[in-house]
């Protein structure tokens, strides 16, 4: 699972495919919510505010 900014979306997709050998599902963070999970304040690859959830 990756939480990324727009700039790092492609990198997250590439790493996901390399690890799991299948394409990920991609969600806009502002359109999903989970009862026991809050999105991090920063992208997994930089300090920018994240936009996408890649799972």
Distances (CA, A) of 50 to 1, 20, 22, 32, 46: 13, 22, 23, 13, 9
| Distance (Å) of CA 25 to CA 22, 36, 55 | 10, 20, 5
- Supply the pLDDT for residue 27: 96
Range of the domain at 24: 2-54
Q: How many domains does the chain have?
A: 1
- Stretch 6-28: mean pLDDT, rounded? 97
Average pLDDT rounded to a whole number, residues 10-22: 97
Whether the CB-CB separation of 52 and 4 falls below 8 Å is answered with: yes
pLDDT of residue 39: 87
Residue 12 has pLDDT above 90, yes or no: yes
Query: Is residue 46 very low, low, confident or very high in pLDDT (cuts 50, 70, 90)?
Result: very high
């Amino acid at each position: 699972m990756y939480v990324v900014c727009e700039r790092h979306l492609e990198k997250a997709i590439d790493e996901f495919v390399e690890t799991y050998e299948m394409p990920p599902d991609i969600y806009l963070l502002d359109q999903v919510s989970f009862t026991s999970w809050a999105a991090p304040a920063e992208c997994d690859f930089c300090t920018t505010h994240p936009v996408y959830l890649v799972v």
